[in-house]
Chains A and B, each alone.
Chain A
Amino acid sequence: MQPLPLTEPVMLIMMSLAGQPRHGYSILKDVEQMSAGRVLLSTGTLYGALRRLLNDGWIERFEEDESPRGRQAYRLTAGGRRNLQTEVNRMKHLTRLASLRVAGKET
């Protein structure tokens, strides 16, 4: 089971798949773009994370129809989307609280 809170690479992979199904290289580039070049995944890290997410049922693998060589792509499952939403809510709460504390409005 993916422990919560998610690590940043796993969070970014989930975010990448939340928009649309993607294949491996597309995830790699999207993560790089979303993090403004700060998070650069290696293929070993990417496929380790994808395997964990597949085993936990957060994502699913399917064969792309339009791909000439039957390329595999990944998409979020309903459970995965729910878990991502939970994590986003947790982070929202945390950032809101942090902003208030930093501004000194709440003690």
Chain B
Amino acid sequence: MFSLYQCLLWLYPSSHRREYGEEMTAVFSAACAETKKKGALTRSLFWFREIRGLVAGALEQHVRSLLGSHSWVLLPTRRFMMHSEFRFPKATAILMTIILAGIVLAIEKAQAISASLPHSNPPVGPIQPWHLTFLPPVLLMFAFTYAAGLIGWAILFALKRSGVHRLSEMQGPAGR
């Protein structure tokens, strides 16, 4: 699981990783060693908190590096500063973490199955297109991810074009 933490650190921008990566890993390692003495529930909550914190932290750092001083437009550091239409429901973060955990578990399971299988596989005939049952879901997932990225980019582009980030720089008429 320690390697999973180091993999998740790659979600961060390289500048943040270079500056804090080693330190974060050391702190995580110390915190992880402490939770080993505790129950399974505490350990699960610790992992959930860490994965959620890393994903949210990486997202925050990317938005900050993208928008600079105007990152308050998208980052809910102070919720009252955001218009209601820009708020993300809390369930989004939980859902993303569950999906991520599912993917990681699926990869680990696949690796375990792969390791348990004998190496001398029976000869396989020519692969026909209808044998590729995994292809439609993969294509669907790719299309979904692409669409989500496109929508995200469109939102950022629209915000930048609308000049909403300049509202904070506006000053009232002189004499007020």
Contacts and interface: CB of A to CB of B under 8 A. Distances in A.
Interface in A25-67: 25, 28, 40-48, 50-51
B56 A44 contact: yes
Contact of B24 (A7, A24, A40, A71): A24
A45 B56 CA distance: 8
Interface string A8-28: 000000000000000111001
A42 B49 contact: yes
Contacts, number: 63
A5 to B, nearest CB: 8
Most buried by A among B52, B60, B81: B60
B30 A25 contact: yes
B77 A3 contact: yes
Nearest to B53: A42
A75 to B, nearest CB: 15
B26 A42 contact: no
Instruction: Determine chain A's interface SS by DSSP, over half rule.
Output: helix
A25 B25 CA distance: 11
B29 to A, nearest CB: 9
Nearest to B79: A7
Interface in B44-68: 49-50, 52-58, 60-61
Contact of B49 (A25, A40, A72): A40
Interface in B32-88: 49-50, 52-58, 60-61, 72, 77-78, 81
Interface bracket on B: 20 to 34
Contacts of A25: 26-27, 30-31
Contacts of A72: 23
Contacts of A51: 16, 19-20, 61
Given A24-B24, A51-B20, A44 B78 contact: no
B33 to A, nearest CB: 10
A28 B53 contact: no
Interface of B: 16, 19-20, 23-24, 26-28, 30-31, 49-50, 52-58, 60-61, 72, 77-78, 81
